């Protein structure tokens, strides 16, 4: 873990390394940053499972990530199958297709400022070991310093490493702005409207946003869902 933190400290590389995942005893790792109020943007994911989990949380507006952001403390759930149904009633049933039975979310925070969330997922249930927990907290602290500690170019460095040079949810932010104008709603309420539509139609938030931006979908009436070029959930 010392080597991984050294890489982060020196700024080598544009993102984390897969060694971080194995060092924590996890199967999937995700880093998200707060871009506006409590809206997060997925900055890096070790794989598609982590990315899909993060998108589910964003679509549904619930889960360990939103809780960690709201409460400002780590949220640990070592066995999702044994968890009470009232904690995240929408999230758990929606993630049955994902290989994740344990989740650990750590706020990237310093004092009262929270800049992001580190999410770790494991395919099998069980607590983190003591050393793994220490390493996760150390990684969260190092990431926090990267985004608060005077490395102003760090966000741009990570952004440039994205395959398309764009934010993962850029289309969601664009669609939220369009809906805010169309429906005369604050941005937060416009995002909630889009989330509700995505959930009720069993679609991803990104697919829904793409239809809004392409003007295939308006959310101010009860017209049937328009045709979309995508038929499956991303």
In a domain, 226, yes or no: no
Report the distance separating Cα 146 and Cα 68, nearest Å.
19
Domain assignment present for 128: yes
Query: Does 148 share its domain with 196?
Result: no
Statement to judge: residues 39 and 129 lie in one domain? yes
Q: Which two tokens stand for residue 114?
A: 């929270």
Kindly report the pTM of this predicted structure. 0.75
Which residues of the chain carry a pLDDT beneath 50?
3, 7, 10-14, 151-153, 165, 222-234
Residue 137's pLDDT is what? 93
Q: Are residues 192 and 134 in the same domain?
A: no
DSSP 91-134: HHHHTTTSS-SEEEEEEEEETTEEEEEEEEEESS--PPPHHHHH
Domain contains 18: yes
Residue 218 confidence (pLDDT):
86
Domain shared by 126 and 193, yes or no? no
> Residue 161 falls within a domain, yes or no?
no
Report the alpha-carbon distance of residue 78 to residue 101 in Å, rounded: 7
198 and 116 in a common domain: no
| pLDDT of the residue at 2 | 57
Q: 28 near 3, Cβ under 8 Å?
A: no
Q: Are residues 145 and 99 in the same domain?
A: yes
Residue 140: how many CB atoms within 10 A of its CB? 21
Q: What is the pLDDT of residues 162-187, one digit of tens each?
A: 555 456 677 888 888 899 888 888 88
The range of the structural domain enclosing residue 123 comes to: 2-153
Same domain? 175 vs 148: no
Do both 35 and 132 map to the same domain? yes
Rama region for 71: left / alpha / beta (φ>0; ψ in -120 to 50; rest): alpha
Q: Are residues 187 and 98 located together in one domain of the fold?
A: no
């Amino acid at each position: 873990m010392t080597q991984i933190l050294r890489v982060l400290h020196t700024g080598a590389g544009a993102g984390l390394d897969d060694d971080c995942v194995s060092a924590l005893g996890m199967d999937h790792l995700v880093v998200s940053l707060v871009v506006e109020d409590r809206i997060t943007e997925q900055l890096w994911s070790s794989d598609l499972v982590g990315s899909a989990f993060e998108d589910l949380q964003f679509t549904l507006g619930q889960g360990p990530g939103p809780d960690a952001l709201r409460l400002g403390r780590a949220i640990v759930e070592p066995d999702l199958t044994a968890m009470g149904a009232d904690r995240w009633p929408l999230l758990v049933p929606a993630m049955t297709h994902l290989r994740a039975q344990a989740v650990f979310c750590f706020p990237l925070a310093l004092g009262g400022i929270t800049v992001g969330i580190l999410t770790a997922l494991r395919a099998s249930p069980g607590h983190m070991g003591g050393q793994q927990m220490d390493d996760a907290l150390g990684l969260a602290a190092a990431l926090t310093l990267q985004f608060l500690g005077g490395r102003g170019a760090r966000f741009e460095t990570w952004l440039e490493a994205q395959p398309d040079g764009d934010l993962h949810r850029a289309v969601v932010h664009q669609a939220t702005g369009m809906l805010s104008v169309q429906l005369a709603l604050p941005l937060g309420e416009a995002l909630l409207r889009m989330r509700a539509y995505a959930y009720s139609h069993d679609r991803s938030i990104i697919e829904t946003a793409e239809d809004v931006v392409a003007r295939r979908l308006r959310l101010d009436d009860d017209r049937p869902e328009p045709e979309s070029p995508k038929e499956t959930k991303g």
